[in-house]
Amino acid sequence: MCSGLKQVAAKVMMIYQNTDSGEEIAKLDMEYERKTTFSKGRSRKTGIFVLLGTVCMIIFIIMTSVILFHQQRTFSVLESWMDIHSSNQTSAKPQEKNIETLMTNLASSITSKQEENQKKLGFCEEKCEPIQVEVLCVRASDPIKTYGGYKIIKAGMSNSLADVKNTVEELRSIVQALSYKLSLTNSLVSGCTDTEWIPFSNSCYLFSGHSMNWTEAKDYCEEQGALLLKLEEGSEKEWEFVTHLAKPLQYWIGLTDQTTGQWRWADDTPCTMDKVHWGPGQPNDWQGHPQEGGEDCAQIYRDMFIHDNHCSIKKKFICKGPKDS
């Protein structure tokens, strides 16, 4: 480009030297101005492209720096969390003696459940053996009999699954109670002579492992020097304690209206408990039980609300007695 400008300038000088024509000079001036303008425009565009490239590079560097900073911060947070978790694990000192006792109780409970399930399994095998023989002997050309055998097997499997589910719920309740006992070993003196009883406030509580009807449960608690559970009026802490350990099972409590038609505790004191602890629509005195009569006894139901039920039904129960002095 510069050589072209020089040539144009040389031509101008030659024309000035060789001719006096004004038209030639004007043409050369116009050509010189056009080439000069084109050179300036191209330089301006090149500068704009360079500027845009520089801006893009700066933006890329900033974004890369932000991403790296975020990753470093994430790694530092994760590292600090791992350090805290490790320190918590090393600082935990289990009470070996208490744990051994509680685990022994849990092992004995599980063993008893296993024996009970073994008996149920033996019974199931006795019942299922003829069913299996019948199914094996069914011909493919007899769809009605095949369908009947299928229904019998399905009913047997459903009953077995229900038994397993109930056993799991009972074991869960046992583990929950043992865990609560373990949590008390470092902070409270039990005050309960029997290891099956759980201390809370000034009382000891027994969450039974066997089932009785309401009257039998009441008599059993009284034989232990206690009462079928009577909840203190307005004690939300006691309510939370009881329902926490009862979940997800059902337990009789010492509340009935079968004698006077009014809800009273097992010690014959009137019940003025807040209705908020009763389940929706409870008590309803439902009359549809196979046994005669309605529902006159109270239970803590699996939804952790109080429901009325027929007093002759066998359920687990809760006893409450004073701490040993």
Residues 263-293 have pLDDT tens digits of 999 999 999 877 899 999 999 999 999 988 9
Report in angstroms the alpha-carbon separations of 169 from 47, 163, 172, 176.
Answer: 78, 10, 5, 10
Beta carbons within 8 Å of 70's beta carbon, 6+ residues apart: none
Evaluate if residue 44 carries a pLDDT over 90: no
Per-residue pLDDT averaged across 15-29, rounded? 58
Which has more pLDDT, 221 or 45?
221
| Continuous H helices in the chain | 2-18, 22-91, 96-137, 143-184, 214-223, 236-246
Name the β-bridge partners of 204: 199, 321
Long-range contacts of 269-272 (CB under 8 A, 24+ apart): 269/230, 272/233
Name the pairing type of β-strands 203-207 and 316-322. Answer: antiparallel
Asked whether the beta carbons of 106 and 195 are under 8 A apart, the reply is: no
DSSP 319: E
Beta carbons within 8 Å of 275's beta carbon, 6+ residues apart: none
Per-residue pLDDT averaged across 210-230, rounded? 96
Q: If you compute the radius of gyration of the chain from its CA atoms, what whole number of angstroms results? A: 45
Residues 138-177 have pLDDT tens digits of 444 444 444 555 566 666 666 667 666 666 666 766 666 6
Q: What pLDDT, on the 0 to 100 scale, is given for residue 278?
A: 94
Dihedral over alpha carbons 261, 265, 271, 274 (to 10 degrees): -120
